[in-house]
């Protein structure tokens, strides 16, 4: 009886520790360096009222953070981005949030859902972008743009042509190695 009680207690404690470790530090990345280090400012500590208002309607230029009774307003152009409740990171580019889909990899990939078409035939489409690093400019994800931005890396250019036949293939993900294939090819070009 004592052993089973200890086992249940140990399981419960490990569950609570895992749950606590999964709590998200929702907040703001002040710089690209903060993003790379995973340093979030104005963090939701889950102790007081917290709200991160992005003012996305009409591409507003500010972010408002409410923490308890204090309110902080930041210009989007002066910060890198933010991390949301789901632990997803975003980067602001011209006051628009782009989701960073691979925050730990070398070549960063971004996605954005946009509406295409006319009034009656509109549909939502996901567009993809990339940057050579967290502090580099963002470009449409295409083989041409990758070769232009990383123009000094001829081995990477050749491997792009070998591994990717179209721009649509550039977003492929290797579920076994848990890395986007574009970064696998980039790493391969460095060997």
When computed from its CA atoms, the radius of gyration of the chain, rounded to whole angstroms, is: 21
Residues 90, 121: Cα–Cα separation, whole Å = 29
pLDDT at 33 over 90: yes
Q: Is this prediction's pTM over 0.75?
A: yes
The model's confidence at residue 8, banded by pLDDT at 50, 70 and 90, is very low
Task: Give the residue from 62, 66, 45 showing the smallest Cα distance to 54.
Answer: 62
- Residue spans of the domains in the chain: they are 22-86, 101-191
- Gap between the Cα atoms of 147 and 170, Å rounded: 13
If pLDDT is split at 50, 70 and 90, which confidence band does 58 have?
A: low
Q: Contact, 173 vs 167, CB < 8 A? A: no
Mean pLDDT of the 34-58 span: 87
pLDDT at residue 1 in the model = 58
DSSP secondary structure letters along the chain: -HHHHHHHHHHHHHHHHHHHHT----EEE-SHHHHHHT--BS---SSS-EEEE--TGGG-SEEEEEETTEEEEEEGGGS-EEE-TTS-EEEEETTEEEEES-TTSSSEEEEEEEEES-SSS-EEEEEEEEESSTTS--EE--HHHHHHHTTT-HHHHHHHHHH-SSGGGGG-EETTTTEEHHHHHHHHHT-
In this predicted structure, what is the pLDDT of residue 48? 86
Q: Taking 70 as the threshold, does the pLDDT of residue 2 lie above it? A: no
Q: Which band of pLDDT confidence, cut at 50, 70 and 90, is reported for residue 24?
A: low
pLDDT tens for residues 141-191?
Answer: 999 999 999 999 999 999 999 999 999 999 999 999 999 999 999 999 998
Q: Give residues with Cβ within 8 angstroms of 129, minimum separation 6.
A: 98, 109, 110, 111, 112, 138, 139, 140, 141
Q: How confident is the model at residue 4 (pLDDT cuts 50, 70, 90)?
A: low
**Whether residue 20 has pLDDT greater than 60:** no
pLDDT of 7: 47
Q: Flag the least confident range among 10-14, 31-35, 79-83, 166-170.
A: 10-14
What is the reported pLDDT for 59?
66
pLDDT for residue 10 = 46
Angle 90-94-95 (CA atoms, 0-180°, nearest 5)? 60
Per-residue confidence band for 19, with pLDDT thresholds at 50, 70 and 90: very low
Distance CA 183, CA 156 (A): 10
- Model confidence pLDDT, tens digit, residues 83-129: 999 999 999 999 999 999 999 999 999 999 988 887 788 889 999 99
């Amino acid at each position: 009886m004592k052993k089973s009680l200890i086992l249940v207690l140990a399981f419960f404690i490990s569950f609570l520790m895992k749950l606590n470790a999964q709590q998200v530090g929702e907040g703001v990345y002040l710089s690209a360096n903060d993003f790379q280090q995973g340093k979030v400012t104005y963090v939701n500590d889950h102790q007081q009222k917290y709200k991160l208002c992005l003012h996305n309607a009409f591409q507003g230029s500010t972010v408002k953070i409410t923490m308890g009774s204090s309110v902080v307003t930041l210009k989007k152009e002066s910060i890198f981005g933010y991390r949301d409740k789901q632990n997803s990171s975003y980067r602001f580019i011209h006051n628009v949030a782009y989701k960073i889909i691979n925050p730990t990899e070398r070549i960063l990939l971004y996605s954005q859902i946009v509406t295409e078409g006319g009034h009656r035939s509109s549909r939502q489409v996901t567009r993809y972008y990339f940057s050579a690093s967290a502090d580099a400019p963002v470009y449409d994800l295409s083989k041409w743009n990758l070769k232009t931005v990383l123009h000094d890396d001829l081995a990477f250019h050749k491997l792009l042509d070998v591994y990717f036949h179209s721009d649509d293939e550039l977003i492929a993900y290797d579920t076994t190695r848990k890395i986007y294939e574009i970064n696998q090819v980039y790493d391969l070009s460095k060997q």
